[in-house]
């Protein structure tokens, strides 16, 4: 069948399907790029910079107005952020960089007192053992070998069961 034999409505349908297919593919690639980036940040093989993660979540309207405390901003994630089988309900971030704080006042906050460092925290309702298994999976996905500075504990500011975090202060003295 040649293009001349295709009716105009069929040609339009084919064009729409091609455009939608490529848009879906691009969206999936962007999602994978976001997940890979977020994994590298939270795996804590090096000091985090949560800026790109937050900008992406803001752009896709996954975060709204954050709550601020102790030089940190926390947001509920809507819907929860699913990474490698674990759903995260909240994200918290802080920055020590005065320029980033000035450029992104909706994302970063600097309160009085000592610095919270530059940090990224994700909160889930999964238990600690599930998060430890998750960390093994993301390290494998990101090809991270050896020990990292990632911390697992109870959420300190928002509700949830387990918190996984990376902070620049963990790298001081190295």
| Residue range 87-138, pLDDT digits in tens | 999 999 999 999 999 999 999 988 777 788 999 999 999 999 999 999 999 9
Domain span at 131: 36-171
| Burial grade of 97 (CB within 10 A; 0-12, 13-18, 19 or more) | middle
Which pair of tokens denotes residue 163? Answer: 């918190």
- The answer to whether position 6 is within a domain reads no
Banded model confidence at residue 5, pLDDT cuts 50, 70, 90: low
- Name the residue among 134, 121, 115 with its Cα closest to residue 91: 121
- The answer to whether position 102 is within a domain reads yes
More confident residue, 2 or 158: 158
Residue 47 vs residues 32, 96, 117: alpha-carbon distances, Å? 22, 12, 10
Question: Rounded to whole angstroms, how far apart are CA atoms 122 and 163?
Answer: 6
| Residue range 62-98, pLDDT digits in tens | 999 899 988 899 999 999 999 999 999 999 999 999 9
**Is the model's pTM score more than 0.85?**
no
- The answer to whether position 157 is within a domain reads yes
- The total number of structural domains in the chain stands at 1
- The answer to whether position 16 is within a domain reads no
């Amino acid at each position: 069948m040649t293009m001349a034999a295709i009716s105009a409505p069929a040609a339009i349908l084919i064009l729409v399907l091609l455009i939608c297919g490529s848009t879906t593919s691009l969206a999936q690639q962007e999602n994978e790029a976001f997940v890979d980036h977020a994994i590298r940040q939270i795996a804590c093989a090096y000091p985090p910079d949560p800026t790109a993660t937050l900008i992406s979540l803001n752009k896709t309207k996954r975060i709204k107005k954050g709550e601020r405390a102790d030089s940190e901003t926390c947001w509920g994630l809507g819907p929860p952020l699913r990474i490698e089988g674990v759903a995260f309900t909240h994200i918290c971030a802080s920055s020590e960089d005065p320029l980033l704080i000035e450029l992104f006042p909706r994302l970063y906050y600097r309160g009085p007192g000592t610095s919270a460092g530059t940090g990224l925290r994700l909160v889930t309702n999964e238990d600690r053992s599930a998060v430890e298994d998750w960390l093994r999976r993301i390290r494998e996905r990101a090809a991270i070998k050896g020990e990292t500075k990632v911390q697992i504990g109870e959420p300190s500011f928002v509700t949830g069961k387990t918190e996984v975090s990376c902070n620049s202060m963990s790298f001081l003295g190295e």
